[in-house]
Structure 1
Amino acid sequence: MIDYNEFLNPNLSNVKPSGIRKFFSIAEEMDNVISLGVGEPDFLTPWHIRQQGIDYLERGKTRYTANAGLIELRNEISRYYTRKYLVQYDPKTEVLVTVGGSEGIDMAIRTLISSGDEVLVVEPSFVCYKPIIDVSGGKAIPIATKLENEFKLTPEDIEKTVTPKTKAIVLPFPNNPTGAIMNEAELKSISEVIKKHNLFVISDEIYSELTYTPEGHITIASIDGMKERTIVINGFSKSYSMTGWRLGYALGPAPVIKQMTKLHQFAIMSAPTNSQYAAIDALKNGDNDIKKMVMDYDMRRRFTVDAFRKIGLECFEPKGAFYVFPCIKSTGLSSDEFCERLIKEKHVAVIPGNAFGDSGEGYIRASYCYSIDNIKEAITRIGKLVKELKNEN
């Protein structure tokens, strides 16, 4: 009998499965489950974007594109970051179109990180960073953000964690799962420490359009001295409700994008062609679609935060993305225990906070990209469990 462990990459074998998927699997086997677990917009891709994709399919535009993506799309991405965030990128050498933001993160980490390199990962945060770093032979070093700091990264946090082996830092703002954002002054303050220690930044900005402050999103690449040491990851899944189109992009210094494109060339070839044509229309004509979605999300955001507080759970007010991160420490249960009882007893699926790093223990993540009726019913059921737990204690 073959011992497959002899053939498998131990770096990959030692990676634990995503803590998010466990509760989806349980929910699939149950009836009458309300899920607040999926981080996917409930809006359809706007019709004019879909129509563009359909038109190009009908015209037979189905061949490979350039490895880096259609030059027309790269031009639009460059113009977009100039008009929205006042940062200029050369579409020929500093833009790479990827299969979703996820591929961009993978390419960025594998391009920068060698065996033994340390990467600071701001947590709680999306589940993919640490596994990719581990598989690349690097070492992920978590930086825990705290509720009392509104889950923001501080210069002191970096100083306490950085070592001579640290090469890069993953900056995930607007944040999944907390909904935290960082303003310009806060980004400037951490930038000084990043430059002092000569770190590279992987800035995951996939939720950049989903912010709820007058200032809006600020990219760290716009801070003086940071563009040349930052890879920006963004895409179309969240902002334009294009999750299934699988399209993202990376922006960065030409020498780094060149190596990322080489890796992308061998692993992927090119991103989906009709998705790229549709994305051109999204960037040109999708601003009003985003505004409408953000207005709707903002209404749900305020409703959801208030609803969690009314059932007795402390709930940080998110300023970005489409998640809330209520604290369940008062129930006496761990995050896993709370989520398991919630889905089995009340048929509501949310995600345990520790799926996003150890610092997420004592919290749960609930998405508000669902109808108000579903959110209302889900939180009513959560409130019943909270009340029962308090009576047990």
Structure 2
Amino acid sequence: MSTPAPRPPSPNLALNQLVDERTAAGESLVHLAFGEARLPLLPQLARRLADGAARAAYGPVAGAPGVRRSVAGYFARRGLPTAADRIVVAPGSKPLLMALQLAVPGDVLLPRPAWNTYAPQAQYAGKRVFGVPVPADCGGAPEPAALRATLRRARADGHDPRLLVLTLPDNPTGTLAPPALVRELAALAREEDLLIVSDEIYRDIVHDPVATPFLSPAEAAPERTVVTSGLSKTLGIGGWRIGVARFPDGETGARLRDAVVSVASEVWSTLAGPMQHVAEYAFAEPPEIAERLRAGARLHGAVAREVHRIAVGAGALCRPPAGGFYVYPDFQPLRETLARRGVTDSATLARRLLDESGIVVLAGHLLGDDPRALRFKAATSLLYGDDKQQREALESDDPVRLPHIAARLDRIADAFARLAR
């Protein structure tokens, strides 16, 4: 009996483990390759977790009524009226995204570049993945004309694209697709009968909500949009694994929800009871949670903008970050200089930064980008330091001037400047 060759582990998780090992061995590295929100734990969350420890029974697969009502209220406050029976909670948004791939037939359309988990999940589900270039001004959403062309080619070749994945705000570029683009893609999805999966786990980390309006595809195409989210990025509790999904109203939404619940019943059974207790509290957004969301967005925006400034100052092209905690520089303007030093693609660029300067980034080709491009993702949230330093950063009016953050920013500036020499 032959067995299939195993896929390599997720590259961001593999790099995170590598950094832990090399740091433990005494190396000094600046880690920018893992999308973890390094924020101090809110004490009320810890108390809520302890209070829920006795919730040891399995409970409903989709989640207990209380937590589903709380999540429904969260969406309603964001302009998406939601019935509690259209909510499913899970151990992270990753399982929900995987369940959607297993439950919904058809191939998958992704923006290019995209978070490195979308494509492998689709492939594990036996689907073909079609990457579509993003517009010049933002990531997280494919360029509409390119999407139409990709659909035509795929169908002419006998493929069946049915799922369109959007990320708002985007991982890896740190940008947010504007409302006009979202509406255009929603109209296209209706014309082409596509299901939209809108990953909105960074929704509450828009740096300036007044200057950067947010439109969910669930507002523009409510009958065909599933929204996924969670608490890992906003509250820094990724290890607690709390994810949620919102399904459309109507018969189609009910079928989608039931299909995902069916997958869940065979894979993870239910979100752990203590975590449901936490989620019910957090998604209700009492004042301390609302203030933490605002403080986190301020911190993430300040540090991401500073890394963006450093990258542009070193000669890179880079979209200004608008949400989340990422920047995605492109060192194409330095291609000739870098080529003389053996840097010709995203892999060798990432290797140069690590070997020469101890800067760890996630190379663009690992995100579905053109391997020949000189692009990478930098996760700026990893610069905040340990628990005490994170608290200082959250409370600071100017976190980039705090000594522990400024020192890491100086190392990044020196590393990027070396690329031009």
Q: Report the TM-score, using the length of structure 1 for normalisation.
A: 0.89
Deviation at 1:158, TM superposition (A): 1.5
Query: Does 2:376 match 1:364?
Result: yes
User: 1:213-267 CA distances to partner (integer Å, 9 max, x unpaired)?
Assistant: 31443211011xx222111111111112221110101111111101100110111
Deviation at 1:274, TM superposition (A): 0.6
Q: Provide the rounded CA distance (Å) in 1 between the counterparts of 2:352 and 2:405.
A: 18
Inter-CA distance 345–219: structure 2 relative to 1 (3 Å threshold): same
Identity of aligned residues (%): 21
Letter aligned with residue 256 of structure 2: V
Further displaced range: 25-34 or 60-69: 25-34
User: 1:106-164 CA distances to partner (integer Å, 9 max, x unpaired)?
Assistant: 01111103xxx321111211111111111111101111214x23335332122111144
Which residue of 2 is the match for residue 222 of structure 1? 219
Deviation at 1:195, TM superposition (A): 0.6
Q: Which residues in structure 2 correspond to 1:46-195 (within 5 Å)? A: 46-57=42-53, 60-84=54-78, 86-92=79-85, 94-113=86-105, 117-146=106-135, 148-151=136-139, 152-163=141-152, 164=155, 165-195=160-190
Which residue of 2 is the match for residue 312 of structure 1? 315
Classify the secondary structure of the residue corresponding to 2:207. Answer: coil
Q: Provide the rounded CA distance (Å) in 2 between the counterparts of 1:259 and 1:217.
A: 29
Deviation at 1:314, TM superposition (A): 2.5
Count residues in correspondence. 373
Unpaired runs of at least 5, structure 1? none
Q: Provide the rounded CA distance (Å) in 2 between the counterparts of 1:23 and 1:259.
A: 34
Classify the secondary structure of the residue corresponding to 2:232. Answer: coil
Inter-CA distance 119–315: structure 2 relative to 1 (3 Å threshold): same
Letter aligned with residue 381 of structure 1: R
Deviation at 1:69, TM superposition (A): 0.6
Letter aligned with residue 65 of structure 1: G
Query: Does 2:261 match 1:261?
Result: yes
Classify the secondary structure of the residue corresponding to 2:234. Answer: coil
Classify the secondary structure of the residue corresponding to 2:170. Answer: coil
Which residue of 1 is the match for residue 290 of structure 2? 287
User: 1:341-386 CA distances to partner (integer Å, 9 max, x unpaired)?
Assistant: 2212211211111111124732111111122455544443344444
Q: Provide the rounded CA distance (Å) in 2 between the counterparts of 1:42 and 1:140.
A: 32
Q: Which residues in structure 2 correspond to 1:204-215 (within 5 Å)? A: 204-213=199-208, 214=210, 215=212
Unpaired runs of at least 5, structure 2? 248-252, 385-399
Q: Provide the rounded CA distance (Å) in 2 between the counterparts of 1:25 and 1:61.
A: 32
Deviation at 1:173, TM superposition (A): 2.0
User: 1:56-109 CA distances to partner (integer Å, 9 max, x unpaired)?
Assistant: 22xx2222121111110100111111111x1122212x1111110101100111
CA contact (8 A) 1:304 1:368 kept: yes
Q: Provide the rounded CA distance (Å) in 1 between the counterparts of 2:55 and 2:41.
A: 20
Letter aligned with residue 29 of structure 1: R
Letter aligned with residue 62 of structure 1: A
Which residue of 2 is the match for residue 44 of structure 1? 40
Letter aligned with residue 365 of structure 1: K
Letter aligned with residue 363 of structure 1: R
CA contact (8 A) 1:178 1:318 kept: yes
